[in-house]
Amino acid sequence: MKYYILFGPPGAGKGTHAGAISEKYNLKHISTGELLRAEIAAGTELGLKAKELITAGALVPDAVVEGMIESAFDTLKGFDGFLLDGFPRTLGQAEDLDKILAKRGEEVTAVISIMIPDDLIRERIAHRAAIEGRADDASEATITNRIKTYHAQTEPLIEYYKKAGKYHEVAGWPGTIEENRARVLAMVDSIQ
C-alpha cells in the first residue's frame, strides 16, 4: 500500500487537487474533517466522543483522530493506497502516524507539499470564504491566526519529512487551477 500525505498551508489547493490525485493513482482520499463528520453521523464510539468534545468547544484529541485514521486503513478496501489530507498537522501526529504504519509493516510513501506565499494564502482564504459563505474564514484576524498556526505547528513537519527523504515540494501558483494540477500530478508521477 502507498501512504501519501497532502501537505501545504491553508489555501494552497490541497482540497482542489486531492480528487485528481486520488483518481489517477487509485488512492482513497482521507480528509480528517470528513472522517470526523462520518464517524459522528454513524454514531460510532469514536464519533460520539468527538461530537461531545466538539459540542463542548474543545479540540478533538490526537488519539481520537488517529483512531479514525487507523480504522479507515483497516476497513477501506479496493484502493492502492491512501492520500491523507489535514493529517498529520504536528510533529507528535507525524510520529504517531509512523507508529501506526510500522505496526502494519508500512511507512509513509511520500509527502506531496503544495506551497504558496503568505500573501496568496490571505487572498485565497478570503476568496474561498466569500464564495462558500464561510464567515469563520472571512475575518483578517482569523486568516492571520491560521497562517501563524500553520507556521508554528505544521511547518516543522517539512524538516521532519526532509530528514526521512520523503518530502516533495511543488509550487501551487502561479497559473490556473489546471496548470497547477498538471504540476502537482507531474510531481506525483516522478515519485511513483
Domain boundaries, the chain: 2-191
Of 92, 107, 87, 156, which is closest to residue 2 (Cα–Cα)?
A: 107
Cβ 114 vs Cβ 13: under 8 Å:
yes
Pure H helices in the chain: 14-25, 32-42, 45-55, 62-75, 91-103, 118-132, 140-149, 156-163, 177-191
Long-range contacts formed by 51-58: CB under 8 A, 24+ apart: none
The pLDDT of residue 138 is 66
Task: Note the pTM of the prediction, 2 decimals.
Answer: 0.87
pLDDT in tens, the chain (192 residues): 999 999 999 889 998 999 999 999 999 999 887 888 888 899 988 889 888 887 777 778 898 889 889 989 999 999 999 999 989 989 999 999 999 999 999 999 999 999 999 999 999 988 887 888 766 666 788 888 888 989 998 999 999 999 999 999 999 999 999 999 999 999 999 997
Q: What is the predicted pLDDT for the residue at 137?
A: 65
The pLDDT, as a whole number, for residue 135 is 65
Cβ pair 109, 67 in contact under 8 A:
no
pLDDT at 136: 61
Partnered with residue 169 across adjacent β-strands are: 113
The domain 2-191 belongs to what CATH superfamily? P-loop containing nucleotide triphosphate hydrolases (3.40.50.300)
